[in-house]
Structure 1
């Protein structure tokens, strides 16, 4: 599986990573900023701004994009329908489910609301990643 790293189109990985990362910035500020803050129980607050809140998601999106590309190559996904199918399996099976699992803790006062906002972001993001990786394969 690790051998897939040498076969990847790294330009496609970069082209898939960028919109996934940018989507996150827009998703949690412009598109769903207030609902996101509400899901965290901080509806009337300004969320802290620190480099970790930019660098951390960027690194995570990059790792998710690279891993997705490796799996797409290993599984020989070559069609748009295959990319969409893979996005749904990986997106729902891993990203959305893990988001829900993370949200179910005492520190997130509205875990289902948080899960819908964050899980949907990851599902849309992984779909974009899969389409770009397969299209540029």
Structure 2
């Protein structure tokens, strides 16, 4: 499986990663900031109260990069070269791993609205997977 590492277009990985990461900023800061805060039980807190700790920027960036690299390895190993199969792969990975895992992690006593959180965050990851995989195939 890892024999494809030398075949990967690493520029496409960087472009796909940047798109995924920037989608997160758009998703949580512009498109859905209020629903996201509500999913965390913080709907009465102002957005300006969000932590400025670098962990909340670096952590998601590292995760998005690892997810993007994993998708690239699998796309190349599975010989996915066109948009239709890439979209199918994105939906499979997005729903099967990222959405379901997001909901599973949210189901705990510290998360006041786990399914709402799963909807907000899971749909971000699903959209991100579509972008990542379509970019990787487009630049293959």
Measured against the shorter chain, the TM-score band is over 0.9
SS at the partner of 1:108?
Answer: coil
Runs (5+) with no aligned partner, structure 1 = none
Structure 1 consecutive aligned stretches of length 4 or more whose deviation exceeds 2 Å: none
Partner of 1:114: 117
C-alpha displacement of 1:47: 2.2
TM-score, normalization by structure 2 = 0.95
Runs (5+) with no aligned partner, structure 2 = none
Q: How does 1:82-93 map to 2 (within 5 A)?
A: 82-93=85-96
| Cα RMSD, aligned residues only | 0.7
Q: How does 1:1-137 map to 2 (within 5 A)?
A: 1-45=1-45, 46-137=49-140
C-alpha displacement of 1:5: 1.6
Q: Give the stretch that moved more between structures: 66-75 or 41-50.
A: 41-50
Name the count of aligned residue pairs: 137
Distance in 2, matches of 1:97 and 1:6, equals: 31
TM-score, normalization by structure 1 = 0.97
Q: Give the stretch that moved more between structures: 123-132 or 42-51.
A: 42-51
